[in-house]
Amino acid sequence: MAPWHPRRIEFGGDYNPEQWPRDVWAEDRALMSQAGVTLATVGVFSWAHLEPEPGRYELDWLGDVLDGLHAQGIGADLATATASPPPWLTRLHPEALPIDHEGRTRWPGARQAYCPSSTAWRTRAVALVEQLAGRFGSHPAVRLWHLGNEYGCHTSRCYCDTCAAGFRRWLLRRYGGLDGINSAWATAFWSQRYSDVEEILPPRLTPDGAWANPTQQLDYRRFASDTLLEELLLEKEVLRRLSPDVPITTNFMVMTRFNQLDYWRWAEEVDVVSTDYYPEFADPLTHVEAALSADLTRGLADGGSWLLMETSPSAVNWQPRNPAKKPGALRRDALQQIARGADGFNVFQVRASLAGAEKFHSGLIPHAGTDTRLWREVLDLGSLLERLGEVAGSRVESEVAMVWGYDAWWACELDSHPSVDVRYPDRPRALHRALWDRGITVDLVRPGAALDGYKVVVVPTLYLADDAAAAAVRDFVAGGGHAVVTYFSGIVDEHDHVRPGGYPGAFRELLGIRTEEFAPLLEGETVVLDDGSTADVWTEDLRLEGAEAVRTYADGPVPGAPAVTRHAFGDGTAWYIATRTSPEGTSSVLDRVVAEAGVGAAAVTTPGVEVVRRRGEQGSWLFVLNHTGREAAVPASGVDLVSGDDLDGEVRVGPGGVAVVREAGA
């Protein structure tokens, strides 16, 4: 398989020609060409058109689409078309329909209504992929294979009997036998001990107020992620056999509102990491969230090249209120992803649909046609991305890492915990945002990853930390690094068993502290710290065991107890933030940490003006994205590839504007 070598910034989107008569296709191609589109994702929801009846394949129309794209110099990200089965499939095989945890069937009529474990579904999907790969596996337009689509978006977990059997097999592989399962699941509790593996079920609806075994719930999340991954692996096997030269991808959903899959594990199986990211139009800080998503996607790609596979060119159709993007937002959104390592910016979709559930979702070609602001912005963006080709393949600079764990997220949000207000993404978002405001770029890394090369490592809400995750942070600090750990981290091991001896067991020695009991706050309750800042959600009765108190509580359940601590450990320093500090409180701690660690911003900036640097063999590029309503000035010398201006010491960027400076002397 030839490696993916980006030589340009890809631009394009999902292209669904089967929704249109053929005379529109020629216009589509001409317009895509005019806009500088380089990559079209084809066939994602085409199964019913490619196999209208069981075993009868109609592939010629897709061949015509691919030939047409190729003639226009546009590459294809060709879908395996298995994202949604045709109606005949579940009519023939009703057992392939998914069942929710209350035992209800999820019916066809929308999309993705299938059980991920279903043999019938898998057999039919593999047969389809064999047809497509056999016919188009060496087609000159095909540059990427796009497996499935947003795996787990609608059906992430099915609770049917087939899945139950698969879960048992998965458990036996993981634990070696019934004793291992009983021990990991702590089934001595509530008379849950299993005497035969056949007694084990998915965590289906339990009696009112009685929680399902937490490790059973956690393992079901792991099993569900692995089961969907098996689908991808089945398709991958076919493609490696029949189309070995074309790299594979699947569009992840790297967003803090999606946690159905363990993307660290998934990323190992694709040749190109790609993600979808959609803004939340009601959130004024949605662009900070977009930065976090991009930083995590870059982490999944191990710092290398990745693609933004989908976003909306303007409005979406699925939020309660769906405004159009404001002038300039499309360009800023695109450049933000490129700044943070994307080597491609693609949208859903090329031409806005006239019918169906997504008819009010924007496309590059809007309902109103090409005499529109949106189309003019699309043309501008296409030509800008072409000019930015030299950036492709360069890497994002960062001195700070943040540990991000999917099973830590799953475990953290299980029921029967000390406080419902401890939500996993809350602290990662808060700390990332505080660093974002300072122009400090953060790499997201998996728990247990080697941390050499970073100056600061942030460990927010890593409730579940296995020994390797704890050791990686400890070794980093012992070797001279600076770590910041936030509350409800290191509490349990990989089986969700409490680490005894005082909280937080996995990090107690590193942090030089010991907590006997948690003191979460009641709804709406706040506490004041000795610097006058406030905090909410969480406090704990923390004792110093070698650490110093940097902040203490002035009131609340544990007045006088440390709220923020600092501990010299080995050659480094370990900080603990024991409460949900306000943005100001978080910032003042991070200011000290980055100053002590000697971490610098990509450029001197002000909050709301995003700065990121990419560096490659050919030089370095400073991206400046002004998310504010005022003009911004950032120190920079070189050429602004957006305006073409030569810069001598400063780049001025208008409200909402962008600059990409090819830096002089870099």
Just list the catalytic residues: 150, 310
Shortest distance in whole angstroms from residue 320 CB to ligand GAL: 14
Shortest distance in whole angstroms from residue 176 CB to ligand GAL: 38
Shortest distance in whole angstroms from residue 150 CB to ligand GAL: 4
Shortest distance in whole angstroms from residue 18 CB to ligand GAL: 14
Q: Do 4 and 31 contact (CB within 8 A), yes or no?
A: no
Q: What is the DSSP letter of 351?
A: B
Which of these, 249, 202, 252, lies nearest to 98 by C-alpha position?
Answer: 202
Q: Please tell me the distance from the alpha carbon of residue 197 to that of residue 186, in angstroms, as a whole number.
A: 15
CB-nearer residue toward ligand GAL: 11 or 278: 278
Q: Please tell me the distance from the alpha carbon of residue 246 to that of residue 261, in angstroms, as a whole number.
A: 25
- Alpha-carbon 302 to chain mean position: 13
Q: Please tell me the distance from the alpha carbon of residue 85 to that of residue 548, in angstroms, as a whole number.
A: 60
CB-nearer residue toward ligand GAL: 41 or 515: 41
Tokens representing residue 588 in the block: 């003042």
Residues that bind ligand GAL (CB under 6 A): 149-150, 153, 276, 278, 310, 312, 316, 348, 358, 361
Shortest distance in whole angstroms from residue 374 CB to ligand GAL: 16
Which of these, 559, 434, 556, 535, lies nearest to 487 by C-alpha position?
Answer: 535
Buried b vs exposed e over 538-552: b needs ≥16 C-beta within 10 Å? Answer: bbbbbeeeebebbbb
CB-nearer residue toward ligand GAL: 348 or 575: 348
Which of these, 572, 536, 564, 340, lies nearest to 452 by C-alpha position?
Answer: 572
Task: Return the axis-axis angle of helices 329-339 and 373-387, rounded to nearest 10°.
Answer: 30
CB-nearer residue toward ligand GAL: 43 or 490: 43
Tokens representing residue 71 in the block: 């003639």
Shortest distance in whole angstroms from residue 361 CB to ligand GAL: 5
Q: Please tell me the distance from the alpha carbon of residue 625 to that of residue 632, in angstroms, as a whole number.
A: 9
Is the sign of the CA dihedral 14, 15, 20, 26 positive or negative?
positive
Instruction: Name residues whose C-beta falls within 8 Å of residue 26's C-beta, 6 or more positions apart in sequence.
Output: 68
CB-nearer residue toward ligand GAL: 317 or 419: 317
Tokens representing residue 182 in the block: 């009983």
**Closest residue (Cβ) to ligand GAL?**
348
CB-nearer residue toward ligand GAL: 309 or 384: 309
Shortest distance in whole angstroms from residue 337 CB to ligand GAL: 16
CB-nearer residue toward ligand GAL: 348 or 507: 348
Q: Please tell me the distance from the alpha carbon of residue 381 to that of residue 7, in angstroms, as a whole number.
A: 18
